[in-house]
A = this chain, B = another copy of it.
Amino acid sequence: LDYQHVQVPFEITLWIMLASLAKIGFHLYNKLPSVVPESCLLIFVGLIMGGIIYGFNDKSPPVMDSDIFFLYLLPPIVLDAGYFMPSRPFFENIGTILLYAVMGTIWNVFGIGFSLYGICQVKAFRLQDVSLLHNLLFGSLIAAVDPVAVLAVFEEIHVNEKLHILVFGESLLNDAVTVVLYKLFRSFCEMPTIKTMDVFAGVGKFFVVGLGGVLVGLTFGMTAAFTTRFTKDIRVIEPLFVFLYSYLSYLTAEMFHLSGIVAIIACAMGMKRYVEANISLKSHTTVKYFMKMWSSVSDTLIFIFLGVSTIGENHEWNWPYICFTVIFCLLWRALGVLVLTFFVNRFHVNTITSKDQFIIAYGGLRGAICFSLVFLLPDFHRKKLFIAATTVVILFTVFVQGMTIRPLVDLLAVKRKRESAPTVGEQIHIRFLDHLLAGIEDISGHWGQYYWKDKLEYFNSKYLQKILLREYDQPKSSIVLLYEKLERKHAIELAEAGQLGHGLSHPSLLNNDRTVITDKKLEDTLNPPVLDNIQEILARNLYRIRRTGPAYNRHTLPGETEPVEHAKEILILRHKSL
Q: How large is the interface on A (under 10, 10 to 19, 20 to 34, 35 or more residues)?
A: 35 or more
Instruction: Choose from B24, B234, B255, B296 the contact partner of A6 (Cβ within 8 Å).
Output: B255
A57 within 8 A of B: no
Docked-complex contact A541 and B6, CB < 8 angstroms? no
Interfacial chain B residues near A239, Cβ < 8 Å: 289-290, 293
> Is the Cβ of B282 less than 8 Å from the Cβ of A234?
no
| Beta-carbon contact of A10 and B251 below 8 Å | yes
Residues in chain B near residue A237, CB distance under 8 A: 20, 23-24, 293, 296-297
Look across to chain B and name the residue whose beta carbon is closest to the beta carbon of A70.
B5
Q: Tell whether, in the assembled complex, residue B28 and residue A230 are in contact, meaning their CB atoms are under 8 Å apart.
A: yes
Given the interface pairs A285-B282, A285-B286, A487-B498, the reply to whether A13 lies near B541 with Cβ below 8 Å is: no
Question: Is A425 among interface residues, defined by CB-CB distance under 8 A?
Answer: no
Is A377 interfacial (CB-CB < 8 Å)?
A: no
A536 to chain B, nearest CB (A): 9
State in angstroms the CA–CA spacing of A504 and B545 once bound together.
Answer: 9
Chain A 409-442, CB-CB to B under 8 Å as 1, else 0, gives: 0000000000000000000000000000000000
A509 at interface by CB-CB < 8 Å: yes
Q: A5 to B544, Cβ gap below 8 A? A: no
Chain A, 62-100, contact with B by CB distance < 8 Å: what is the 0/1 string?
A: 000001000110000000000000000000000000000
Closest B residue, CB atoms, query A546: B501
Q: In the complex, which residues of chain B have a beta carbon less than 8 angstroms from the beta carbon of A512?
A: 501, 504-505
Closest B residue to A248 by beta carbon equals B13
Report the bound CA distance from A495 to B545 in whole Å: 11
Q: Which residues of B contact A231 (CB under 8 A)?
A: 24
Q: A16-B240, A16-B244, A496-B488 are in contact. Are A230 and B24 (CB under 8 A)?
A: yes
Instruction: Please measure, in the bound complex, the distance between the C-alpha atom of A239 and the C-alpha atom of B548, giving whole angstroms.
Output: 35
How distant is the Cα of A348 from the Cα of B17 in the complex, in angstroms? 46
- Are A282 and B289 interface neighbours, CB within 8 A? yes
**Given the complex, which residues of B lie within 8 Å of A283, measured CB to CB?**
289
A544 to chain B, nearest CB (A): 4
A509 to B524, CA, bound (A): 39
Please, which residues of chain B bring their CB within 8 A of the CB of A2?
254-257
A190 within 8 A of B: no
CA gap between A104 and B507 in the complex, in Å? 66
Contact partner, A234, options B23, B241, B545, Cβ 8 Å: B23
- Beyond contacts A2-B254, A501-B544: 9 other A-B pairs, Cβ-Cβ < 8 A, are A1-B255, A17-B244, A237-B293, A239-B289, A285-B286, A501-B541, A501-B542, A504-B512, A505-B509
11 A-B pairs with C-beta separation under 8 A: A5-B67, A10-B251, A21-B227, A24-B234, A28-B230, A237-B293, A239-B290, A490-B495, A498-B541, A504-B506, A504-B544
Residues of A within 8 A of B (CB): 1-3, 5-6, 8-10, 13-14, 16-17, 20-21, 23-24, 27-28, 30, 67, 71-72, 227, 230-231, 233-234, 236-237, 239-241, 244, 247-248, 251-252, 254-257, 282-283, 285-286, 289-290, 292-293, 296-297, 484, 487-488, 490-492, 494-496, 498, 500-507, 509-510, 512-513, 537, 540-542, 544-545, 548
List 10 A-B pairs, minimum CB-CB distance, nearest first. A491-B491, A501-B544, A501-B541, A491-B495, A27-B233, A286-B289, A488-B495, A6-B251, A487-B495, A505-B512
